[in-house]
Amino acid sequence: MSWIPLLALLIGFEAVADIFSKEYSIRGTWPYWVAGISCYIIANAFWLGAIRAGSGLTKGAMVFYVTSAVLSFVIGVIFYKEVLTRVQMVGIGLGVVALALIFWPE
């Protein structure tokens, strides 16, 4: 499970990149664009490290996608006052259930 810290860094940089991207969409200034692209590149370097460290494409991707979705949901609602529909919230919940099932011991 040495891949978990690398995946955590991937998720962290991805969240920061998402914030810069949102700020770029609001303000339209190039420093946000550069910061966002830079964070996405760094995030993907950690993704390569996580796969090499044994996360596997399926498990690693599932952890990344669901955790990123939940984190993006939190950031969007708290900082940008975005609103999700009930169906979208159910989708987030199902993603969390899927994540739990990925790690369910056999």
- For the question of whether the overall pTM of this predicted structure is more than 0.85, the answer is yes
In angstroms, the CA 93 to CA 24 distance is 29
Domain holding 71, by residue range, is 4-102
CA 9 remoteness from chain centre:
10
Cβ neighbours for 39, distance < 8 A, ≥ 6 positions apart: 13, 14, 16, 17, 20
Task: Report the pLDDT value the prediction gives residue 2, as an integer from 0 to 100.
Answer: 92
In angstroms, the CA 43 to CA 60 distance is 13
**How many structural domains compose the chain?**
1
Q: What is the pLDDT along the chain (106 residues), one digit of tens a residue?
A: 899 999 999 999 999 999 999 999 999 999 999 999 999 999 999 999 999 999 999 889 999 999 999 999 999 999 999 999 999 999 999 999 998 998 888 7
In angstroms, the CA 30 to CA 1 distance is 38
